[in-house]
Chains A and B, each alone.
Chain A
Amino acid sequence: MRRMIRIRVNGEWRELSVAGNALLLNVLREDEGLTGTKYGCGIGECGACTVRIDGEPVLSCLTLAVAVDGCEVQTVEGLAVDGRLDPLQEAMLDTAAVQCGFCTPGMLMTARALLDETPAPSEQDVRDHMKGNLCRCTGYASIVRAVLEAANRDGGPEMAPKPPALGAPRRSRGAPRTP
């Protein structure tokens, strides 16, 4: 069985012909060329394949493409707007929360969903929300710090910039966020 579906990927409606057994993860990576979303385990355990469907963080390795017909899909490629990184992405760089980077796209999608719902999470909130995203490199501390830092920055541009954690030099990627 093949079927036409319409999904809105990172803001753009796409019409795609997909097989009945095609997984959203593979459609995104192979048909759409959006390789930011990663295949880690394929069985729901690692979170590397997390994307947002209608805003919710969902495992694309366990989602049939035909079953998201009509939905809004956001991948890590859709976080930056007009070449400006999302504050979360900036915070990840600033706190050195990326080592090999394999877990990072999934981490970002889960964390973005958290911050959209809970703009000022506690450290425990962050750890609870992100326990389905595994990282083999960082030990998580820097990732948690990045999410809390991004929440802080999301808090308002009038807030004085905090010194970067870990003494890491502030990298400037994309245009500055604050006017």
Chain B
Amino acid sequence: MLTFTNSHLLLGELDYVEPASVDEACALLAEHAGEARLLAGGTDLLVQLKLERAEARCLIGMRRLPELRRITGEDGLVLGAAATIRSIARSALVRGRYAALQEACEAFSTLQVMVMGTVGGNVCNASPAADTVPALLAFDARAGLRGRHGERAVPLDELFVGPGRTVLHADEMLESLRLAPVSAGTGSAFLKLGRVAADIAKVSVAVRLDREGEHIRDCRVALGAVAPTPVRSGEAERALRGQAPSAALVQDAARAAADEIRPITDVRSTAAYRRHAAGVLVQDAIRRAWARAGGREIR
């Protein structure tokens, strides 16, 4: 049977509060346990509420927490959770040095969604296809969480439990994402395959390579939309680490990544297609990242 949802209205009583501090926000989350949700740009949450895929009695707005919108360059890169996708795409601290992150933000489907959407919303919504996440994983991002009982830092690859699920406690919120510093020999790239330009990813890949002479000293290979959560490919990373890139090595790494992932078949693609496409994207992303790291052309 077809069911029609009314996307014209937001049904149900809704309270709305704007705390003046993160502590107050955590207290509110605790007080309304299970019934309150943080509202950042609303581009995921309001859609889910309208389509009745989420429930809330109280929304906690973050407008009065300007510190959460800050982007700073201290000891790497620190993104406030409420920094918008567009502000990250255009930040001078991101450009060049964190190329994969910039490309991930630019790959977002539409201008309006980039203006409204935030990196914290993208991460906490925990979609396997979230565009910023593979790029954040490539830079060893740590999620700075704060709750009623204090703070903790969680490596981003330990934050996701499954589609739409994270390790955040009911009273906890994401404050910041801290990315590792990059060196002169670091190069990175993000590639996304969508159905059309303005769509979420069928497959996305972020690669970071640290070059030392002709060798890859260290690397990260992260993929989106190919498993229940965004994932790193440990096998692809192992294949690359310590090696001098060649066409054969790049192919080996791509095959390792394609073998390791667990894609599904859905309306956007079949699993077999995703596996194939992931391999192709991994190869392209390695080549780009290597070129940006100042490496010689891979033959």
Whether B265 sits at the interface, judged by CB under 8 Å, is no
Q: 1/0 per residue A1-36: CB within 8 Å of B?
A: 101000000000000000111110010000000000
> In the complex, how many residue pairs between chain A and chain B have their CB atoms under 8 Å apart?
90
Q: Are B111 and A44 in contact (CB under 8 A)?
A: no
Checking B9, B15, B61, B112 against A44 with a beta-carbon cut-off of 8 angstroms, the contacting residue is B112
Cα A110 to Cα B51 in complex, Å, equals 26
Whether A47 sits at the interface, judged by CB under 8 Å, is yes
- Name the A residues within 8 Å of B150 (CB-CB): none
- Name the A residues within 8 Å of B277 (CB-CB): none
Q: How close is A115's CB to chain B, nearest CB, in angstroms?
A: 13
Whether A103 sits at the interface, judged by CB under 8 Å, is no
Q: Are A1 and B112 in contact (CB under 8 A)?
A: no
Within 8 A of A (CB), among B276-299: none
Checking B6, B42, B109 against A62 with a beta-carbon cut-off of 8 angstroms, the contacting residue is B42
Contact of A47 with B59 at beta-carbon distance under 8 Å, contacts A1-B15, A62-B43 already known: no
Interface core residue of A1, A44, A67, A132 (most chain B CB under 10 Å): A44
Contact of A132 with B109 at beta-carbon distance under 8 Å, contacts A42-B8, A67-B61 already known: yes
Q: How close is B115's CB to chain A, nearest CB, in angstroms?
A: 5
Q: Of the 9-residue stretches A52-60, A135-143, A162-170, which lies at the interface with chain B?
A: A52-60
Q: How close is B254's CB to chain A, nearest CB, in angstroms?
A: 29
Checking A21, A44, A56, A62 against B14 with a beta-carbon cut-off of 8 angstroms, the contacting residue is A21
Minimum CB distance partner of B6 in chain A: A42
Q: How close is B125's CB to chain A, nearest CB, in angstroms?
A: 13
Q: How close is B277's CB to chain A, nearest CB, in angstroms?
A: 22
Q: 1/0 per residue A99-132: CB within 8 Å of B?
A: 0000000000010000000000000000011111
Checking B9, B12, B16, B59 against A23 with a beta-carbon cut-off of 8 angstroms, the contacting residue is B9
- Name the A residues within 8 Å of B10 (CB-CB): 21-23, 64
Whether B170 sits at the interface, judged by CB under 8 Å, is no
Q: How close is B265's CB to chain A, nearest CB, in angstroms?
A: 23
Q: Are A21 and B13 in contact (CB under 8 A)?
A: yes
Chain B interfacial residues counted at CB < 8 A: 30
Q: How close is B206's CB to chain A, nearest CB, in angstroms?
A: 21
Contact of A21 with B11 at beta-carbon distance under 8 Å, contacts A57-B112, A110-B112 already known: yes
Whether B239 sits at the interface, judged by CB under 8 Å, is no
Q: Are B15 and A131 in contact (CB under 8 A)?
A: no
Cα A66 to Cα B109 in complex, Å, equals 26
Q: Are B7 and A41 in contact (CB under 8 A)?
A: yes
- Name the A residues within 8 Å of B13 (CB-CB): 1, 20-21
Minimum CB distance partner of A56 in chain B: B115
Q: Are B116 and A132 in contact (CB under 8 A)?
A: no
Contact of A43 with B11 at beta-carbon distance under 8 Å, contacts A64-B16, A67-B63 already known: no
Whether A75 sits at the interface, judged by CB under 8 Å, is no
A-B contact sample (20 more), CB < 8 A, given A19-B14, A43-B51: A1-B16, A20-B16, A21-B10, A21-B12, A23-B9, A39-B8, A42-B7, A42-B8, A47-B110, A56-B115, A57-B111, A58-B112, A59-B113, A63-B46, A64-B39, A66-B61, A67-B63, A110-B111, A132-B109, A132-B111
What are 27 A-B interface contacts by the 8 Å CB criterion?
A3-B16, A20-B15, A20-B59, A21-B9, A21-B11, A23-B9, A26-B9, A41-B7, A42-B50, A43-B7, A43-B51, A44-B112, A57-B111, A59-B43, A61-B7, A62-B42, A62-B46, A62-B116, A63-B42, A63-B46, A63-B116, A64-B42, A66-B16, A110-B112, A130-B111, A132-B110, A132-B111
5 tightest A-B CB contacts, nearest first: A132-B110, A42-B7, A21-B14, A20-B14, A21-B10
Q: Which residue numbers of B lie inside 8 Å of A, CB to CB?
A: 6-16, 39, 42-43, 46-47, 50-51, 59, 61, 63, 109-113, 115-116, 197-198
